[in-house]
Every structure is written in structure tokens, then in C-alpha cells.
Structure 1
């Protein structure tokens, strides 16, 4: 996988983050709020690690 493809995949992940953030604003989310919060935390960790491992690609 070349840098361009990798960067596109990471950008796709980043674009989906906003959907999770918007989902958290839904009052009827109930216990799924825990799962959404965890997904956001894991996504943020992944993006941070990606930036550390591949600083030349950027995010």
C-alpha cells in the first residue's frame, strides 16, 4: 500500500468521526452512548498513533 492510499484511508476514518460526535448529541441514545464514546476514544488513539508513526504523511 503506497502513501497516497494510506492517507486516503485515514482521511476516510477521520471523516466518519464527526458522525459519531453528532450521534452523541442524540438524547435517546441510552446505553449505546458508552459504545459511541469508546469508539471515539479508540478512533482518536488510532489517529494519534498514525500521526506518530507516519509524520511525513500527516493527517
Structure 2
């Protein structure tokens, strides 16, 4: 759980850094990269929480 929080936080920080670089450099590539990182981070988080919910429902 701690590892997931660390990776999740670092990925969100990376997405924020990409958006900041996009604002600073006015380069749309940074915005696209930030959006991709954010999208896959949220998909991974939804999958992680889905696994936790299923485990709780099954009683493991």
C-alpha cells in the first residue's frame, strides 16, 4: 500500500511537472505527455482500487 502511494504520488508529480514545462516552454508536446501520464496513472489507480474492493467482497 505504501509503495502504491509512493508511485502514485511520483506519477502525479511527473504529470504536474510536464504541465508546468508546457506552460513555461509553450510546447504542446509537454501538455500531451502530462495528459498521457495523468490518464494512465488514473487508470492504474482505478484498477488498484477495483482489486481492493473485490478482495474485500470475497473476504480475503
Larger radius of gyration: 2
Which of the two has greater helix per residue?
Answer: 2
Higher RCO (C-alpha under 8 Å, 6+ residues apart):
1
Task: Tell me whether the two structures share a fold, i.e. TM-score over 0.5.
Answer: yes
Unpaired runs of 5+ residues, structure 2, are none
Q: Aligned match of 1:20 in 8, 15, 19? A: 15
Aligned length: 50
Distance (whole Å) between structure 1 residues aligned to residue 51 and residue 30 of structure 2: 31
The list of structure 1 runs, each at least 4 consecutive aligned residues, that deviate by more than 3 angstroms after superposition, is: none
TM-score scaled by length of structure 2: 0.64
